[in-house]
Structure 1
Amino acid sequence: MKPVIAATIAALAFGPALADENRASPLADSPIWTDLRTDLVGKIDIADAAGRIELEAPFRANDAATVPVTIRQTDPALTIRGATVVIDENPAPLAASFTFGPAMAPLELEIRVRVNQYSNVRVIADTDQGHLMTGRFVKASGGCSAPATRNPAEALAGMGEMRLRHFPDTPGLSTARRDAQIMIRHPNYSGLQRDQITQLFILAHFIDRLEIWQGDEMLLTMEGGISISENPVFRFTYTDNGSPSLRVIAHDTEGNVFEQDLPKAGQS
């Protein structure tokens, strides 16, 4: 069979399957969630968030150590006070808990997480209409034990550096809203990674609390765990109150506190 013909047949045969894989995948049945639910979020009623909140994540992750996850509010009438991100099959399933200030509404927040094996990634939102849940099934493995991109000495040398970027041409964003991204230099060691030279496990060391303010107005706070990726990145939209900078305060598990005012004008 000629190569061109063979390639055409393969494309016809596998094309529909590949298209299905690229569609957003719903939450899968998860017996572990039944066991975890009460411990993670308590005995609360949780309704389906369909049509009000969506979670965007890749069905097949390119890099299990940095999986992009976006929480997006689709019902503008909803008030979202906070959100809990859970990765069912991770060693520490509670990835992060967020609280949001009024300027974050309507909510759009992207974070990057580690996914250790095929798992549901879910968000449970605390809203004025009760607790709502949505999520996606993500195919990824090894994210929590993936080697760090830098050796420990290099990672610690730049720890705490921060950078702010604004995206001025975001489609569909009103003039009152701004699209920002904050990156924090931190190894966020999970405790499951090995030093590539000594092969010894690197002790867990990660950002466990984050605050982002504009002036005296709180935008968001986060209580985080080992599932937040190395060099954490947070992209979000917010209503600008005229303050010239965003103030970021990050605490890690070693007692370090990193604080910086990042000017909104340009890049810092």
Structure 2
Amino acid sequence: MLHRYELLAISDNLTELGIKRIRRVGHHTEFEQIKEYVKGDDYRTINWKASARRHELMVNVYQDERSQQIYNVIDKGRIMQQAFRGMTLLDYAINASLVLSYVVMRKEDKAGLVTFNEHFDTFIPASRQPGQMQALLENLYSQQTTFGETDFSSLCVHLNKRVNKRSLLVLYTNFSGIGSLNRQLAYLQQLNRQHRLLVIFFEDAALKEYVATPARDTEGYYRHVIAEKFVFEKRLIVSTLKQHGISSVLTTPENLSVDVINKYLEMKSRSQI
């Protein structure tokens, strides 16, 4: 599975499995070295001072800024116990984070991991060293949900202490409705000020299917009204986050991995990380 996504990330076949190949917008570079001019070099990179000293044309060599830090931040609270096709939301988040970490490192960024529930739990610093993928696999293998409510305030405190460089935080969580978002919004805003936050949460596919089925009686009508309210609130969460400058992905468990990878590639191509 990981090998499959690797090929998609580094080849021209990113459209397979729904992963989009996006042209990079903008050009962020950093200086690397000075070298002798050869035919075909961009004349705009000529270093005139160095050329005068060497009595021959010299050019500045630049490379794209790389090794951005990407952290998968996984909520292990009771909200992630919800099951879909025999797996919990936590299971899907773990799978997606592993695939994303692999793609991140193949794209020459650094992948890290944070898990939390009532307490700040796992922290693996972002890296692209050869043993990083194995460390992530071993840590995530035994992760389980808990019955407590997630403490986002603790997450903010510990992340700000441990992650000094601005990073992309891919937060896997869920919200039952707009009320549950509002209780955590201040903490999400705080994380987004220090870093670039991407909130991943889930829509209920079964509920959407139910809403699409016509009601047959009065009781069914009232159930539809309640179901439609929950579906609407998920969309409202997306717009509320956007109003506060926070990116998000509302997805189904089965589409999670592909949607997260697409969003990462999109943000990277637009220099939004």
Please classify the TM superposition score into its range, dividing by the shorter chain length. Answer: under 0.3
Normalising by structure 1, what TM-score?
0.24
Radius of gyration: which is bigger? 2
TM-score by length of 2: 0.24
Greater per-residue helix proportion: 2
